[in-house]
Amino acid sequence: MIALVQYARANKLQVRARGATHSIAWSIYADAAGGPNQPDKTLEESPPTGPNINIAFDKMADLAWIDETNGIVEVGPGCHLGQDPLDPFGQSTLENSMLYQIAQKGWAVNITGGITHQTVAGFVGTGSAGGSVKYAFDNVIAFRVVDGLGNAEWIEQDNAIFPAFLTAMGLLGIVTRMRFKLAPMYNIQGTETAYPPTPDEGGPNDLPCPIDLFGPGDDDRPSLQKFLTDTDYSRMTWYPQKGHSVAQIWRASRVPASNTNLIPYQQFPPTFFAQTQMLLAALLLVLVGNSDSTRINALLKTKVARYNANIARIFSDQPGWAWTKLKSQVVGWLVLAVGGVIGSIKGAMRLLYPKALPFFTPVTTKKEAGDPFHDWYWRSLPMDNTADDVLLSTEFVEIWVPIQYTQQAMTLFKGMFDNGGYQATGYFAQEIYAAAPSPGWLNPSYSDGTDEYKDGVVRFDAYWYRDNEGSPDQAHGFFEQYWDLLLKNNVPFRFHWGKFVPYYNFAWWANYYATVLPKFQDFLDLRAQRDPDNVFFTTYWQQTLLGKTLAS
């Protein structure tokens, strides 16, 4: 790493390191020759062309115990939290993942994100978080970093600049090793239940929502803010579309570690029905998000190929494989045929959408009362791990709002959805999480302990299907209405840096970031000190953080 940085510096090149590519591509890679030559999307695994250096850490993914008795471990930057099913190097397995290895020794981290496909360096470097105010990913105690001058050093917790590295986006140097102080192993126990969001939206047999999602709460139902604050781990997936509005609420408590009576949470279990349901969801999302029939047919062929590969992976060594294979092939043919017909009729799927949505998001009835789970934290806390990243290829903007604004923000968004229809809701979901405050200088929940972020945040994620037409982060794109609504109503917010942020009016947004992040200028000053030749500072990050390119 030292040699690569020194080479880049001497030859006026850039150096960037990639993790599992779960951030948008332009935030990951060095500049391309002649400008961007790849879409600004996640899971773009091929780096751009040109002389700049892009590093993958597939050969630096080890884990070494420093003090097994006290739970101190060092990990290479390319070690994945869990298994990465899309690892292009074929190195990632469950057994060599960080969370699995530490669990075998009785240790854990305090939280995970919705997935654990990321590398440890990528997860920390983008300020990622799970769904909890009580627990944060606060187990990191030191970074080994090569700066832009080619100097290697450990940055430990007692160093005044340590908090800057907790959300650094690769701008302060290349992380080559991380040290963790782990927590004792634990399990989680909880339920997932789907409710009508308000009493007047439900039917007589639907289970009523136990949370006042848009109000202040009362003795019978807590407010959403109180629910997020009091629950160990939680997540709500909200489908606000008119005619079938549903709030899927996932909640869990931390319980003692156990290897008995385990019921894993699996959003899409390894069954024929669940895998087929994902394919049909992909069919629906491709058809509502695209208008060109040639593009639709090409996308559906990709989805069917992925579906058949998943079916083979799960069932090929089981009895009755020939029959299962035939069924999956028939399903694939039907999807291509039906998709081809509907895709050739402009707007047809959008008319059918309200009728199709209940199949994918059924409301829990009073007789069902939710799906329980009790499992090792590392397997069920990342609740989206079983969703396929190709079939359900999801992008989003992640907006972090001080948690005391929860009711106001929920009311504003509901009003926007009710008045704006599909232009406002889109044809996918909204995700609502909480997060604890962070000392990370550029972390979107940064707090000094006295400000309005000191009690944590509520995070609003507007989903975008990766294969949709258009660019949701640009002026007049789909996401603009979300942040414009909050700006208009003086609701403070920050963005998750690894996801979409506004890609227009760069100077205005850079000034906004400087206003809402108290340590913003301190970070920029430290960045310039550690990287005076800008070997890590790509055009994307110059525009985003400075509001202009250094050449302009």
What is the DSSP secondary-structure string of 445-491?
Answer: TB--SSSTTTT-EEEEEEEEETTSSS-TTSTTSTTHHHHHHHHHTT-
Closest CA to 377 of 388, 385, 387, 367: 385
User: Is the separation of the CB atoms in 207 and 193 below 8 Å?
Assistant: yes
Residues in the chain: 552
Task: Report the pLDDT value the prediction gives residue 224, as an integer from 0 to 100.
Answer: 98
Residue 105: CB atoms within 10 Å? 14
Q: Is 277 helix (H, G, I), strand (E, B) or coil?
A: helix
Which residue type sits at 201? E
The one-digit pLDDT tens for each residue of the chain (552 residues) are: 999 999 999 999 999 999 999 999 999 999 998 877 778 899 998 899 999 999 999 999 999 999 999 999 999 999 999 999 999 999 999 999 999 999 999 999 999 999 999 999 999 999 999 999 999 999 999 999 999 999 999 999 999 999 999 999 999 999 999 999 999 999 999 999 999 998 878 778 888 899 999 999 999 999 999 999 999 999 999 999 988 899 999 999 999 999 999 999 999 999 999 999 999 999 999 999 999 999 999 999 999 999 999 999 999 999 999 999 999 999 999 999 999 999 998 888 888 888 888 888 888 887 777 789 999 999 999 999 999 999 999 999 999 999 999 999 999 999 999 999 999 999 999 999 999 999 999 999 999 999 999 999 999 999 999 999 999 999 999 999 999 999 999 999 999 999 999 999 999 999 999 999 999 999 999 999 999 999 999 999 999 999 999 987
Closest CA to 30 of 547, 496, 551, 542: 542
Task: Report the pLDDT value the prediction gives residue 419, as an integer from 0 to 100.
Answer: 95
The 3 state secondary structure assigned to 185-198 is CEEEEEEEEEECCC
The 3 state secondary structure assigned to 481-543 is HHHHHHHHCCCCCEECCCCCCCCCCHHHHHHHHHHHCCCHHHHHHHHHHHCCCCCCCCHHHHH
* Burial annotation 351-373 (CB, 10 A radius, 16+ → b, else e): eebeebbeebbebbeeeeebeeb
Q: β-strands 233-239, 152-156: how paired?
A: unpaired
- Where do we find the tokens 């590969």? 309
How far is residue 310 from each of residues 218, 330, 387, measured CA to CA in Å? 46, 15, 11
d(CA 270, CA 316): 12
Full-model pTM: 0.95
User: Is the separation of the CB atoms in 106 and 185 below 8 Å?
Assistant: yes
d(CA 140, CA 156): 9
Residue 322's contacts (CB-CB under 8 Å, 6 or more residues apart) are: none
How far is residue 120 from each of residues 19, 309, 380, measured CA to CA in Å? 8, 28, 18
Residue 316's contacts (CB-CB under 8 Å, 6 or more residues apart) are: 325
Q: Is 426 helix (H, G, I), strand (E, B) or coil?
A: coil
492: DSSP letter: -
Strand partners, 435: 132, 457
Closest CA to 141 of 172, 178, 171: 178
Task: Please give the torsion angle defined by the CA atoms of residues 443, 516, 43 and 82, in that order, rounded to the nearest 10 degrees.
Answer: 20
User: Is the separation of the CB atoms in 111 and 136 below 8 Å?
Assistant: yes
Strand partners, 132: 435
Residue 266: CB atoms within 10 Å? 18
- Where do we find the tokens 């005391």? 404
User: Is the separation of the CB atoms in 382 and 115 below 8 Å?
Assistant: yes
d(CA 85, CA 118): 10
User: Is the separation of the CB atoms in 120 and 77 below 8 Å?
Assistant: yes
Closest CA to 144 of 181, 174, 177, 179: 177
Angle, alpha carbons 146-148-152 (nearest 5°): 25
38: DSSP letter: S
User: Is the separation of the CB atoms in 289 and 217 below 8 Å?
Assistant: no
Task: Report the pLDDT value the prediction gives residue 207, as an integer from 0 to 100.
Answer: 86
How far is residue 78 from each of residues 17, 29, 118, 175, 434, measured CA to CA in Å? 10, 16, 9, 10, 27
Helix ranges (DSSP H) in 290-347:
293-315, 321-343
Task: Report the pLDDT value the prediction gives residue 310, as an integer from 0 to 100.
Answer: 97
The 3 state secondary structure assigned to 19-80 is CCCCCCHHHHCCCCCCCCCCCCCCCCCCCCCCCCEEEECCCCCCEEEEECCCCEEEECCCCE
The CA-to-CA distance between both ends of the chain, in Å, stands at: 30
d(CA 299, CA 47): 22
